[in-house]
């Protein structure tokens, strides 16, 4: 099955990533001067990206940084190269948008997008133009520019994140936020851009479909160690930060949303850095049972895994 990144969504933007040799879903690390929250534009921006692009094209949040030693996913790399050339779009924008709309029409819309337990995945999307009303800037370190919109989380999740970071620090584990909120507008512009270039079927294999990224809920955040090492890449799994999170995140209402061995249920590869806020009650139950949010909500049987 093909998986695409929940967080892979900002293509353009990512000159930063390249510099840092980081990858992942976010614009990540570092003072990314270029990192803008603005929706992906189109051709012009692309040229800027040159060699960067890793992020976007990679299938998952976490895919190892193409720039580094790990080879990027097959479907990603080719694309990347192409994108840097600012090719003429294959489809007129209007057609691409219509294709995207048609594809989106097949995905179920969640009834309560503002619920702390909202289930957003490849089969369930947020309503068109859903925007959380209580987004704030959590007071924690980030590998993002100070005013980046991607720092934001919904208020309750932000407070919980601050408590989690403080507790980690007390245990000698210094965390940093890598990427949190992503607006629907941004996601949509980005996706349309890819559809225009590659067609809807191909685009959905490497870019999250608008409305289906958990980052749009304002309840999800990718984290790393303060040094940014292994940010949103698979090597994060072996860090002490990942181990601390796996052990304690639920105490603050967060779950490791895409656990190892549950790929068939979540639709995503193991992403030890992607935290989802659901509140302590649900988080503790999910952790205790070793299940996913899908299983907790009864959308799929708990035995369906593996
Ligand atoms: Zn993520």
Q: Which of 9-18, 177-186, 226-235 has the lowest mean pLDDT?
A: 9-18
Give the whole-angstrom CA distance, residue 300 versus residue 292.
9
Residue 67, pLDDT > 80, answer no
The answer to whether residue 271 is catalytic is yes
pLDDT average, residue stretch 18-46 = 37
181 C-alpha to center of ligand 1: Å?
A: 9
Q: Which residue has the higher pLDDT, 58 or 129?
A: 129
Which pLDDT band holds residue 110 (cuts at 50, 70, 90)? Answer: very high
Residue 221, pLDDT > 90, answer yes
pLDDT average, residue stretch 74-97 = 52
Q: Which domains can be identified in the chain, with CATH numbers?
A: 15-93+183-206 (no CATH), 108-182+214-304 (3.30.1380.10)
Find the catalytic residue in 56, 241, 271, 295. Answer: 271
Q: Which residue has the higher pLDDT, 54 or 120?
A: 120
302 C-alpha to center of ligand 1: Å?
A: 23
44 C-alpha to center of ligand 1: Å?
A: 27
210 C-alpha to center of ligand 1: Å?
A: 14
Taking only the tens place, the pLDDT of each residue in 245-262 is 999 999 999 999 999 999
Residue 7, pLDDT > 80, answer no
């Amino acid at each position: 099955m093909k998986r695409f990144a929940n967080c892979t969504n900002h293509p353009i933007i990512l000159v930063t990533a390249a510099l840092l040799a980081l990858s992942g879903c976010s614009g990540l690390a570092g003072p990314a001067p270029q990192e803008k929250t603005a929706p992906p534009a189109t051709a012009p921006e692309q040229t800027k990206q040159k060699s960067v692009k890793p992020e976007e094209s990679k299938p998952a949040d976490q895919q190892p940084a193409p720039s580094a030693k790990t080879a990027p996913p097959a479907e990603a790399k080719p694309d990347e190269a192409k994108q840097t050339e600012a090719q003429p779009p294959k489809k007129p924008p209007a057609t691409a948008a219509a294709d995207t709309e048609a594809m989106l029409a097949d995905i179920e819309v969640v009834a309560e997008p503002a619920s702390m337990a909202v289930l957003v995945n490849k089969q369930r999307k947020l309503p068109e133009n859903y925007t959380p009303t209580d987004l704030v800037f959590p007071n924690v370190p980030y590998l993002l520019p100070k005013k980046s919109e991607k720092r934001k989380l919904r208020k309750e999740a932000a407070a919980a994140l601050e408590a989690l970071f403080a507790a980690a620090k007390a245990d000698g584990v210094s965390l940093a936020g890598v990427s949190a909120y992503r607006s629907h507008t941004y996601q949509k512009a980005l996706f349309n851009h890819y559809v225009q270039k590659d067609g809807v079927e191909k685009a959905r294999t490497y870019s999250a479909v608008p409305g289906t990224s958990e980052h749009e809920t304002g309840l999800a955040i990718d984290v790393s160690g303060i040094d940014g090492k292994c940010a949103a890449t698979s090597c994060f799994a072996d860090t002490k930060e990942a181990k601390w999170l796996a052990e304690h995140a639920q105490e603050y209402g967060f779950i490791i949303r895409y656990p190892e061995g549950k790929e068939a249920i979540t639709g995503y590869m193991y992403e030890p850095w992607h935290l989802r806020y659901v509140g302590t009650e649900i988080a503790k139950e999910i952790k205790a049972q070793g299940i996913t949010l899908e299983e907790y909500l009864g959308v799929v049987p708990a035995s369906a895994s593996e």
